[in-house]
Amino acid sequence: MNANTFNDYYGQHIARVQQNALRRTLPAWPYIIPRLPDAGIAIQDSGIKRHFVPCGIHYDWYLSGVIYRAGMITYVPLPYWPYAAISFEFSGCYMAKLCFRGDWYAFHIATSTTPADDCKQVWKDFLALHKQDITTFVMCRPTSVKDLFDKYAELHYKRSRSVMLAGLIAEDNQCYTLVYDYDSAQVAKMQPDNVRTDLIRTCSPELLCHEADRNYFTQLMNKNKLWVDSGAEKKTARRPCRI
């Protein structure tokens, strides 16, 4: 994927929703107040569930966005499969897309050096508790593409540009990192007249789970990778997801 492909498939639809005066409810990004009902993730442990908060935006049903909240695991339900999800404001957090009891969700897992705001342990506990309910799984850490993180830092902190580091999990579950211009909803440029193709890159899957569960989720992610590589029709590990 390059910058033009991103704009054709996703960016133009985000921009249209952001610019729609009838739907624009905030003066600054994300321009729309994320208002989603509890999507009904039936997490059995109340101590885990309290960290999960629905917080997303559907961009005219072309893709959905997960909005970051410090100290929380935010998520958005996806209306069908295959379906793309994007999330924003990455500085070390994880992103995941999975099929849970037949329904698809995308997640932004907040991490922090402040223990109270770090959700890595909660996420690991969630996967351990519900691994038999998760039938398809992909996960990444967008900041792992270090050169793009460095370019984002330069544009944001040194040049005061309206950019952030974003993560995208496409319809085929391929993961991408991009330096995202959130006003135009496009891949950012280093200079106004530059081509943008160098600021979006594939992002390798990165797993966050308890060591005891690593083999199980590694196999799920590998099954997904085999499907992406072969182009074959996707089937989930245990039961089909609703589409």
Q: Write out pLDDT tens, residues 157-215.
A: 999 999 999 999 999 999 999 999 999 999 998 876 655 457 999 999 999 999 999 99
Q: Which residues of 138-165 are buried (b: 16+ CB within 10 A; e: fewer)?
A: bbbbbbbbeebbebbeebbeeeebebbb
Report the C-alpha gap between 223 and 159 in whole angstroms. Answer: 42
Number of domains in the chain: 1
Residue 236 lies in a domain: no
| Domain contains 214 | yes
Q: What is the pLDDT of residue 34?
A: 86
Domain that holds residue 113: 3-230
Q: Both ends of the chain: CA-CA distance in Å?
A: 25
Residue 141 included in any domain: yes
Extended beta strands in the chain, E state: 52-54, 56-59, 63-66, 73-77, 84-87, 94-100, 103-109, 134-140, 163-169, 175-181, 186-187, 200-202
CA distance 102 to 86: 21
Taking only the tens place, the pLDDT of each residue in 20-51 is 866 778 888 999 888 766 656 889 899 999 99
- Coil/strand/helix, residue 11: helix
Burial of 119 (0-12, 13-18, 19+ CB in 10 A): buried
Give the residue ranges of DSSP H helices in 98-213: 120-130, 146-153
Residue 236 has pLDDT above 50, yes or no: no
Query: What pLDDT, on the 0 to 100 scale, is given for residue 117?
Result: 96
Peptide bond into 30 cis (omega under 30): yes
Instruction: Supply the DSSP symbol for 205.
Output: B
Whether 237 is in a domain gets the answer no
Our CA angle for 150, 156, 160, nearest 5°, is: 145
Task: Please tell me whether the overall predicted TM-score, pTM, comes out greater than 0.95 for this model.
Answer: no
- Structural domain includes residue 149: yes
Is 119 part of a structural domain of the chain?
A: yes
Residue at 56 is within a domain: yes
Specify if 238 maps to a domain: no
**Predicted pLDDT of residue 33:** 85
